[in-house]
Amino acid sequence: MPKKLWTSLMTLLILVNSLLGFSSAVAHAQTNSSAIQFVDSVTMKDSTGKAVGTTKISNSSAVQLLYQLKLPDGDVDPTATYTMPLPPELRCEITTPVEITASDGTVLGHLTVTNGQINLTFTNAINQLANRTINFAIWAKFNKDTLDYSNGNDLVFPTANNVENILHVNFYESDSGIGSGTSAISKTLRYEGGNVVDWTVTINKGGYAVDDAVFEDTMENTQSYIQGSLTVNYRNYKEKSVPVSTETPNLTFTPNSDGSQSANIHFGTLTSKNVMDANAVTSIVIHYQTKMSYNEKDNRYPNHATLYNGNVQVDRAASTATYRANQAGGDGDRVSNVMVKYVDDSGNPLASDVILSGNVGSTFSADQKSFDGYTLKTIQGDPQGTFSDQDQEITFIYSKTPVMSGRITVKYVDDEGHVLTDSDILTGNVGENYQTNPKAINGYTLKEVTGQPKGHYTDQDQIITYIYTKNQVDNPATGPDNPSSSSSSSS
């Protein structure tokens, strides 16, 4: 398949996968499981730390992929697995989950790579952070049968802002990596996992006559020999294995004054290949493993192999390893919550809880609310404070406000203070309106009123007095000018 068509198809598949993840989330209210939505940048480096893409690279090289992710604020689903594909030109398998840890050691999630796919899961701790970033580095090798040695390959590393993000890489074919030539000693390495190196040393590769062969290996103290990993293969001039009666030696490293450490093995006579003795030992191949401790200073781990003939150095070879552990980390601003509650003195809620969120160390202020018929009684917790690494709770407690009543006595008297009729008693809540009216009392006329005949009830008793005056009665007079109205009869 032509390279451009292959790249276009891969880009289309990635885009469709991303869109399907999004549409599924919309249609089914599920999490968008594409990790591409978080990817900010991807960088590829070789084993020396140099960016890949400027020059040709060996098809047998190991490369480091550095991903930077930015997670938007909001909850991340801790039950979901977020995935994204590796370019098909790369192969990587990480089945043991790599922890994604914050600077304080908090585990934020885990990373695996299986079947050409990067898998990310997160813990609930990620939702306690704001301004979240995730960084991880994984080592990968090339799938040689996918490489275009004439034109190079476009490796697709989709990001949130560019699903067609492409890195063009040119390749050359390397040899088997065993080494060649007529050196007296050679040394090669390969990686077993991120921080374990499998070293191969060929002693007397050139097939010379050595009377008293002594092998010495020197390495920095940032490496440690893995006990029991040594194997020794004795070979004749045809580089075929030769059985020997000696026991398999071991490597015992001892410290040197310069901080390095060395081990040596005495092999004795090595027969020249020109003798062509199929039963004689001409060369020796040693395999052993070391474990690297992370060396942040320069991330390089040199290892020197030396062949001596007695005390005379015959040849020396060196190889340098780099730390290739898959690593992941993340960070963000630590977020804390303050729960604010509003309840009555029986614990019944008067309003919905309010959650205040902020970065640890920033300040907060919880507002008091007003409720009709209630008065603030007490506050549990400090309504003003600082967000801490522990969630906090503040409770405003209210008690029901007692209903106050007012009393009004309405009196009805004559102008001498005599009661003309029973008094009226009016009651009502403080603040409510009231109105009184005079009564019609037979034989009396309203003269005046003391107090307020209408107004508002107060918390003080009030008296309103209607004062009446007695009506005057007109009686006819008797005498010469006003004879009696009675009449009499005569005979």
Cβ partners under 8 Å of residue 10, min gap 6: 87, 88, 156
Q: Answer whether 3-172 and 185-323 agree in fold.
A: yes
As given in the structure block, the two tokens for residue 420 are 């003309």
Fold of domain 334-400: Ubiquitin-like (UB roll) (3.10.20)
Fold of domain 185-323: Immunoglobulin-like (2.60.40)
Interatomic CA distance for residues 210 and 267, integer angstroms: 10
Interatomic CA distance for residues 152 and 172, integer angstroms: 9
As given in the structure block, the two tokens for residue 278 are 């199929």
**Half-sphere exposure (CA, 13 Å, Cβ side) for 211?**
5
For residue 363, which of 341, 381, 336, 345 has the smallest C-alpha distance? 336
For residue 123, which of 75, 170, 185, 55 has the smallest C-alpha distance? 75
User: How many residues are recorded in the chain?
Assistant: 491
To the question of domain 405-470 being in CATH 3.10.20.320, the answer is yes
Cβ partners under 8 Å of residue 486, min gap 6: none
Residues 202/270, Cβ–Cβ less than 8 Å: no
Residues 118/39, Cβ–Cβ less than 8 Å: no
pTM value? Answer: 0.47
Q: Where are the domains of the chain?
A: 3-172, 185-323, 334-400, 405-470
To the question of domain 3-172 being in CATH 2.60.40.1280, the answer is yes
pLDDT in tens, the chain (491 residues): 555 555 555 555 554 454 444 333 333 335 688 999 999 999 998 866 788 887 788 887 778 899 999 998 877 899 999 999 999 999 988 888 888 988 888 899 999 999 999 999 999 988 888 888 899 988 888 999 999 989 999 999 999 999 999 999 998 875 433 333 355 677 777 766 667 888 888 998 888 889 999 999 998 888 889 998 999 999 999 988 888 766 677 789 999 988 889 999 999 999 999 999 999 999 999 999 988 876 554 556 677 888 888 887 777 776 666 555 566 666 666 778 899 999 999 999 999 999 998 888 889 999 999 998 899 999 999 999 998 878 899 999 999 888 778 899 999 999 999 999 999 999 988 888 999 999 999 999 999 999 999 999 998 999 999 999 999 876 555 555 555 443 333 33
